[in-house]
């Protein structure tokens, strides 16, 4: 094998470079950025936290259909409580877009188009 030394050195340098983020974080003894969700202002959400964590996008989709296409602006939650279907009126009365929605969506690289029409404050 020709140039054994150069090739092995090259591979080692390549491996060090590609695993640099891991070394760097280990050296700084901290994990990467994680979303910091601010506690919501209200006492309870329309559904349980675990349900909302998994299904908030489906719920919002369902709300959109109910209010725009079916003309029904009342959502009956699984516990029987009724909520006014409104993204800005109901959801945003407890949650803040920048401190709640954007935290995970920015972290996960999820691009939403809710806010091009629905107004979340100046």
Partner 1 sequence: MAGIAFVGLLAAKPIFDVISRAEDPKKAAEAQTAAQTQTKWGMAIKIANCKDGCTDCINACNTIHNVPDIPDPKHEIKWIWDVNYEDVFPEQNSPFLANSLKGLPVLVLCNHCDHPPCARVCPTAATWKRAADGIVMMDYHRCIGCRYCMAACPYGARSFNWVDPRPYIKQINPDYPTRTKGVVEKCDFCEERLALGLIPACVEACTEKALVFGDLNDPNSDIRKLLATNYSIQRKAELGTGPNVYYVI
Distances (CA, A) of 39 to 13, 36, 44, 94, 100: 45, 9, 11, 9, 8
Q: Least distance from C-beta 39 to partner 1, angstroms?
A: 23
Binding site for partner 1 (CB under 8 A): 64, 68-69, 71, 73, 88-89, 113, 116-119, 121-122
Residue 87 or 104: the one with the smaller Cβ distance to partner 1 is 87
**Residues ≥6 apart with Cβ < 8 Å to 79:** none
| Closest distance to partner 1 from the beta carbon of 89 (Å) | 7
CB of 56 to partner 1, least distance (A): 17
CB of 73 to partner 1, least distance (A): 6
> Quick one: 45 or 85, whose CB is closer to partner 1?
85
Q: Which CB sits closer to partner 1, 10 or 89?
A: 89
> Which residue number, 14 or 119, has a Cβ lying nearer to partner 1?
119
């Amino acid at each position: 094998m020709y140039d054994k030394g150069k090739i092995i050195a090259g591979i080692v340098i390549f491996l060090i470079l590609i695993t640099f983020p891991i070394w760097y974080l280990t050296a700084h003894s901290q994990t990467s950025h994680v979303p910091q969700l601010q506690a919501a202002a209200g006492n309870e959400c329309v559904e349980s936290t675990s349900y909302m964590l998994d299904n908030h996008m489906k719920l919002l989709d369902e709300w959109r259909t109910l209010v725009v296409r079916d003309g029904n602006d009342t959502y009956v939650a699984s516990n029987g409580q009724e909520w006014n279907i409104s993204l800005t009126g109901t959801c945003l009365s407890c949650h803040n877009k920048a401190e709640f929605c954007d935290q995970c969506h920015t972290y996960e690289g999820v691009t939403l188009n809710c806010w091009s029409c629905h107004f979340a404050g100046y």
